[in-house]
Amino acid sequence: MPSAHPYRVIISGGGTGGHIFPAVAIANELRRRQPEAEILFVGANGRMEMTRVPEAGYKIVGLDISGLQRRLTPQNLMFPLRVLRSVRKAGKLIEQFQPDAVVGVGGYASAPVLLAATSRAIPALIQEQNSYAGLVNKLLARRVDRICVAYEGMEKFFPKEKLVLTGNPVRTEIASGSREEALKFFDLSPQKKTLLVIGGSLGARTLNQATAAALPRLREAGIQLLWQTGKLYYPEAAEQAAPFAADNIKALEFVQRMDLAYAAADVVVSRAGALSVSELCLTGKPSILVPSPNVAEDHQTKNAMALVKRDAALLVSDADAPAKLYDEALRLLADSNRQEQLRTNVRQLAHGEATTTIVDELLALMDRR
C-alpha cells in the first residue's frame, strides 16, 4: 500500500554525464509527481557528480570509492579496503536516511549503496543505460528487485523476470529547443549549416584532434561549428579555433544548453555513450557515431550498432576517425536527402516515456513494501 509519509529515495552512482544526467532525470520526475519526496544522491568523491548534482538542486554525499585500474597499482591493492569502508558508510547513510527504495545508475558509488540497501531488505532498482551491462550491475542483478534497461536482449546479462524495457531517461527539455532561439543563443547564422561535435562530458581526444585538423575544411565549405571539447582539452581547442571565430567556429568547454545545441545542429558527430545515443534518438538528429575504444567490453560500439543496423546513424571507428571522419561529415552535411532518411529512422528508436516508466516501477516497488 502507498506510504503514509513522503517517499524517501537514495539515488547512487555517477562518474560521467552518462550516469549523472539519467539519475537527475529520474529525480526530477519523482519530484514532479511527489513534490514532498526526499531525495538523496550518493556519489564518489572527486567525480563530476559532486558538482553536477548540487547544480541540479539536490543534496549529495560522497564515498571514497574508485574503480579498478587495468594494471597493478597501489590503488588496486587498496580497492577491497575502499569497498569495505564505502559499504560501511553507505550502511550508516541508509540507517540515518531510512529510504523507502534505492536506485543505482551505475558507476563507482552504486555498488556500496546497493549492497548496503539489499542486505537490509530495502527495495532496489537498477537502471542500465548501455547495450552491454556494466560490471556493478551484473554483479548485483540477483540482489535487486527491478532492472530497467534501454535495449532488447538484456536477458543475457540479467534475470529475465526482473527486466523492464524502458529506454534511457533523458532530460525532457532536450528536444524542446527552437532553432531560432538556438541560433541567437550561440550567435550563429541562419544561412549556414551547423555541425555539432560532442565528445561526452569528459571530452574525447580523437574527436578533438580530428576536428582541429578539419577547421580549414569546415571554413572552406561554409560550415559553422559548435565544438564541445571537455575541460581537459578546452584550452588548446580554444586556441586552435580562435583564428576561425569570424566563420562561426566555436570551441566550448561544456554545453549547458544541450537543448539549444541540438536545435541548432543539422548534423551531429558524437561518441556513442548511452545518454548521447538516447538524446540523438529523441531529438531526431542525423549523426555520425565514433565509439570510444576506452570503455569496458567495447560497449559504445554495441550502442552505436543498435542504430546503424536500423539505418539510423553512421559509424566511423576511432581508429579511422583521423582520416575519414570529416570526409563523412562533409558528405552528410551536403546531402539533405540522406539527412532526412537518418532523421526519420532514428526518431523511431526514441523512448520518450523512459523516465516516466522508470518512476512508475520505482513507485510500485515502494508501494508494495
The sign of the CA dihedral 90, 92, 97, 102 is: positive
User: Rounded CA gap, 308 and 342, in Å?
Assistant: 10
Count of beta carbons in the 10 Å neighbourhood of residue 45: 15
The grid coordinates listed for 288 are 555520425
User: Which residues touch 133 (CB under 8 Å, ≥6 apart)?
Assistant: 141, 154, 157, 158
C-alpha cell at 48: 563530476
Binding residue ranges for UDP-N-acetyl-alpha-D-glucosamine: 16-18, 130, 171, 201, 274-279, 300
Place of cell 552504486: 110
What H or E segment, with its residue span, contains residue 345?
helix 336-347
Whether the CB-CB separation of 205 and 276 falls below 8 Å is answered with no
Query: Amino acid identity, residue 327?
Result: D
* CA-wise closest residue to 367 among 111, 76, 101: 101
Give residues with Cβ within 8 angstroms of 188, minimum separation 6: 182, 194, 224, 226, 248, 264
Angle at which helices 110-118 and 74-97 cross, to 10°: 50
Residue of 118, 93, 92 lying closest to 103 (CA atoms): 118
Cα 135 from chain centroid (whole Å): 17
Q: Where do we find the cell 580549414? A: 216
Q: Which helix (H) or strand (E) holds 213?
A: helix 205-221
- Find how far residue 90's CA is from the centre of its chain: 24
Annotated binding site: 16-18, 130, 171, 201, 274-279, 300
